[in-house]
Amino acid sequence: MLLAMIVVFSSGCMDEKKQIVLNQSDNISSYEFEVFLNESNNHVPANTTTYYLLEDKTKVQVVNIAINRSELDIYPPDSLGGSSGDNPIDNFLLLVEPANGTIAYSQTFEELSRRNETSDINYTLTQGINQSMKVLNLKFEEPVTGFIAYTLAIPGMQGFAFIKPDSEFIRVVLPPGYVTGNRIFGIARPTPSNTSFDEKGRQNLLWISSKMGGREEAIQVKYYADSAPLYFLAAIVFLLFGVILVLFYYSRSKKELESVKGIFDLEKEYEKKQRRRK
């Protein structure tokens, strides 16, 4: 899937666009609006895209920290290997303010995350073909600062692939009880710049766009239950024990057969001697 996405992304051209109308959701509590800070730049917010993989593995919530942005590209579910259906994205909401009157401090984003109502900001959402891939272009009348969130449907598998978004920081938060990093069970490609665990015990993966290669246009994450390696090891030990047990019984049975064969040979030799005497 990853190779196919890279090939498709690296070829093609822009096709005609069509406008899409979405009803903005008021379900603010369904998202996590975490204020991610740039530790290398005095702990200030930065343009960040975070993917929260849900436990049912059929949906991913995407939360963007937008700083002075006038547009945003969104790749719908069918670009990610899912099925878009009637609506390419779901549960779309905005917690933003005009950038020219908003200072991008952490306090600003914390205040936005505590709001009970979404922002009344004019925008247009169009769908087109960019380099042979379907893409949604979200455009505002003026640059904005705040949170942009939406939900995508994805295949119900323990793997997730997406086109690298136009953000300095890219994060993936795995469901509770799942991890990545074992070459047998699944890894993330390219290798994340940092991995950590949050207070909920979820593994967090972080990529920094400026440190990624120019050819790394897509990111793929294959994850698994954190108990999978232990169960796999237990299965291997059990299998080895079974093999040893079979070999032991085989060796024992072979010795018993050889013993019986020896007795049988002695009896035959004894009978031959008896016939000769007669």
| Whether residues 20 and 96 fall in one domain | yes
What is the pLDDT tens value at each position of the chain, 278 positions in all? Answer: 555 555 444 444 445 678 878 777 788 999 999 988 877 666 789 999 999 999 888 889 999 999 999 999 998 766 555 555 556 788 999 999 999 989 989 999 999 999 999 998 999 999 888 767 788 999 999 999 999 999 998 877 888 889 899 999 999 999 999 999 999 999 999 999 999 999 999 999 999 998 987 778 889 999 999 977 676 566 777 777 778 878 878 777 777 777 767 677 666 776 776 676 66
Range of the domain at 94: 2-226
| Whether residues 125 and 215 fall in one domain | yes
What is 25-76 written as a DSSP string? Answer: ---GGGS-----EETTTTTEE--EEEEEE-TTSSEEEEEEEEEEEEEEEE--
| Whether residues 102 and 48 fall in one domain | yes
Q: Are 136 and 125 in contact (CB under 8 A)?
A: yes
Q: Identify the domain boundary among 191, 209, 226.
A: 226
**pTM attached to this predicted model:** 0.79
| Whether residues 136 and 261 fall in one domain | no
Number of domains in the chain: 2
| Whether residues 161 and 78 fall in one domain | yes
